[in-house]
């Protein structure tokens, strides 16, 4: 793990906080499961979920984009976890109906109907990872998240998501281009049918989002593209009016909104985020950059 040091500031005095190890793997799992949405942007579906084939998924969840999520934890740095997690991903791909049923029972029909099996995620939580873990991760960087953690004292938890050069390169993986959700076209099809001007705006906005930092990843869902660090901070979709940007910001704390912005709290829309920004020209992207930066930095 890269050297990360945490200090408590008392006036002009800095006092270092030293790491405090968890004694049991179950302690780590319990802490994350109690705070799953805040830490990882994942809704809890089940703990110690039995696959019926002799395996138990540590934590089974669904993320804010509707993707199934397998979470595995390890306390021992020398133990690999990715291979086991990948076998659970394969199990989910072949047991979609069973996953729909458990989500329906735990979270309701609306959550179950939002499941998007086009991408199944694996999140591995550990103090550090082996070379074998890193090798497996580089094969599937868009589907696997490696999250290092450090506990400092009793009140501080530090999370660091491992970055992949592979994940940051190239356009987002395309989603389905034939299947539809309701009467809405898949986003990949919307882009294909869009005017050259709209496609150019989308690409300019995409570059503005990716340039925020090397830790930004993008994922195309059926109806929008999500931009995230550990959790979504922005989503993008498009239609005949232009490109629509949704930011994870609280509109009530932003003062008067510009004419191309709307408070979307409590209103349905494709994507996630409470601030809507309509992009119809390049100047709109420039004007939105400070808000994009705030969302990226988590300044809710």
Q: Give per-10-residue mean pLDDT for the chain (300 aa).
A: 75 86 90 95 96 90 95 82 89 95 96 92 90 84 87 86 56 40 75 91 95 89 90 92 94 92 91 95 95 88
Closest CA to 119 of 164, 37, 163, 62: 62
pLDDT in the model for residue 180 = 38
Per the DSSP assignment, residues forming a β-bridge with 13 are: 10
Q: Which residue do the tokens 């397998």 mark?
A: 70
Q: Determine contact, residues 100/110, Cβ cutoff 8 Å.
A: no
Q: Cα-flanking dihedrals φ and ψ of residue 202, to 5°? A: -60, -45
Provide the whole-model pTM. Answer: 0.79
Closest CA to 296 of 236, 214, 212: 212
pLDDT in the model for residue 80 = 77
């Amino acid at each position: 793990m890269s050297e990360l040091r945490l200090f408590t500031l008392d006036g002009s005095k800095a006092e270092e906080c030293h790491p405090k190890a968890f004694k049991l793997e179950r302690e780590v799992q319990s802490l994350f499961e109690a705070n799953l949405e805040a830490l990882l942007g994942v809704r809890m579906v089940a703990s110690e979920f039995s696959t019926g084939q002799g395996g138990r998924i540590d934590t089974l969840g669904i993320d804010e984009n509707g993707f199934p999520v397998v979470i595995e934890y390890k306390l021992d740095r020398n133990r690999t976890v990715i291979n086991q997690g990948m076998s659970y991903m394969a199990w989910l791909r072949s047991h979609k109906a069973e996953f729909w049923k458990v989500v329906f029972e735990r979270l309701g029909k609306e959550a179950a109907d939002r499941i998007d099996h086009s991408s199944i995620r694996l999140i591995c939580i550990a103090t550090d990872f082996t070379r074998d873990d890193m090798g497996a991760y580089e094969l599937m960087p868009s589907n696997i998240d490696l999250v290092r953690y450090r506990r400092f004292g009793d009140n501080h938890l530090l999370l660091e998501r491992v970055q992949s050069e592979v994940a940051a390169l190239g356009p987002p993986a395309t989603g389905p281009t034939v299947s539809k959700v309701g009467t809405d076209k898949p986003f990949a099809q919307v882009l294909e049918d869009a005017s050259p001007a709209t496609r150019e705006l989308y690409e300019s906005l995409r570059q503005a989002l990716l340039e925020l930092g090397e830790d930004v990843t993008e994922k195309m869902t059926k109806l929008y593209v999500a931009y995230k660090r550990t959790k979504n901070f922005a989503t993008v979709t498009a239609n005949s009016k232009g490109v629509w940007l949704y930011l994870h910001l609280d509109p009530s704390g932003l003062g008067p909104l510009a004419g191309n912005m709307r408070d979307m709290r409590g209103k349905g829309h494709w994507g996630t985020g409470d601030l809507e920004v309509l992009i119809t020209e390049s100047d709109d992207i420039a004007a939105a950059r400070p808000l994009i930066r705030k969302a990226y930095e988590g300044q809710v």
